[in-house]
Structure 1
Amino acid sequence: MMPFDSEDEAIEIANDTPYGLAAYIQTGSAERARRVAARLRAGMIQVNGAGRSSGAPFGGYKQSGVGREGGVWGIEEFLEIKTVSGIVDDA
């Protein structure tokens, strides 16, 4: 843990890293937790000791990787999207 003087400084310290797998917020304010979580550059954020659901996506930001495992996001990593244009039904 590192000391900080303001919420903005705490977020700046947390985001000042090439990695972004996970972050943690400890607060008595749900509003503050939402506000800070939205600004943190991490793929997973735990608030007040809550565990990650097994169906939640697992993965990070920046050099912690951009892929996701778990839930529908993990399945989508194995899918490819294709567009087909110009097929007209026979008359």
Structure 2
Amino acid sequence: MAGGWSRDGAVQDQISASVEDAVKLARSRLPGGEGLTHCHECEAIIPDARRKAIPGVRLCVRCQSELEEQQTIVSSFNRRGSKDSQLK
């Protein structure tokens, strides 16, 4: 479905590359190593189940939720400027 000067499948290749980049970014943000027994922010006890489920955990659930709400997703692809998104 590629048009213009691009080859067939170029749009899907770009989508796949964007997804791969997002996955790599997410994996790089995962904690590693030994986790903390107390939250780095509020000093609350981190339950054993959470420490076993998430290696390298440093925050309690409440602090982690607050952090995730503050983070913004940055995309290098401008979907508003894409001709394909304007056609739908």
Q: TM-score with structure 1 length normalisation? A: 0.22
Higher relative contact order (CA 8 A, sep 6+): 1
Q: TM-score with structure 2 length normalisation? A: 0.22
Q: Greater strand percent: which structure?
A: 1
